[in-house]
């Protein structure tokens, strides 16, 4: 599967399963380590870990896309788009998306928590969970969101 096919697959899952258009970009990122994919708060693009595809095939990519599309649509609609939110739990149940983006970690990375600043989009990786009520973005002091 190449980026073009991934884009088409994402658009068709979005239309068929969510009844909504996917208007941004979906592409492989071979630098992803800790998650199968991620939704980028700032650009609204979806990145997919291509090792996940190489190891587990198309089925795994479909699961990742479903999960990321839950973040995507809820975020754009101003609803609860984080894993712990009611809206997120509900949408992932309805669409059959996995609640978490499973990581392939044969080369177990110690990073467990990935945060994005909801203002500038900078990514922060932490081994331990941080208190996002207190911790802010080191670049712009924006709010940190745990999301993948």
Q: Kindly list the residues in this chain that would bind Zn ion in the complex (CB under 5 A).
A: 101, 117, 119-120, 122, 137, 139-140, 142, 148
- State which H helix or E strand residue 99 sits in: none
CA distance 128 to 134: 14
- Which residue among 68, 77, 90, 146 is the active-site one? 68
CB 36 within 8 A of CB 60: yes
Q: Which is nearer to Zn ion, 46 or 117 (CB)?
A: 117
68 given a catalytic annotation:
yes
119 is in an annotated binding site: no
Q: Which is nearer to Zn ion, 21 or 99 (CB)?
A: 99
Nearest to 143, CA basis, from 33, 41, 39: 41
Residue 2 Cβ vs Zn ion, minimum distance, rounded to whole Å: 24
Tokens 């392939």 belong to which residue? 104
Query: Residues annotated as binding site for Zn(2+)?
Result: 67, 71
């Amino acid at each position: 599967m190449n980026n073009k096919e991934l884009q088409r697959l994402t658009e068709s899952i979005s239309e068929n399963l969510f009844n909504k258009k996917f208007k941004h970009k979906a592409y492989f990122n071979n630098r992803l380590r800790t998650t199968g994919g991620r939704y980028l708060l700032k650009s609204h693009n979806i990145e997919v870990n291509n090792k996940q595809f190489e190891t587990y095939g198309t089925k795994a990519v479909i699961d990742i896309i479903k999960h990321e599309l839950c973040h995507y649509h809820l975020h754009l609609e101003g609803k609860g788009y984080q894993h712990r939110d009611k809206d997120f739990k509900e949408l992932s149940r309805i669409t059959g998306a996995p609640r978490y983006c499973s990581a392939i970690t044969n080369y177990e990375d110690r990073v467990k928590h990935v945060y994005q600043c909801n203002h500038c989009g900078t990514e922060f990786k932490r081994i331990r969970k941080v208190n996002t009520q207190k911790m802010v973005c080191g670049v712009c002091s924006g709010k940190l969101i745990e999301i993948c």
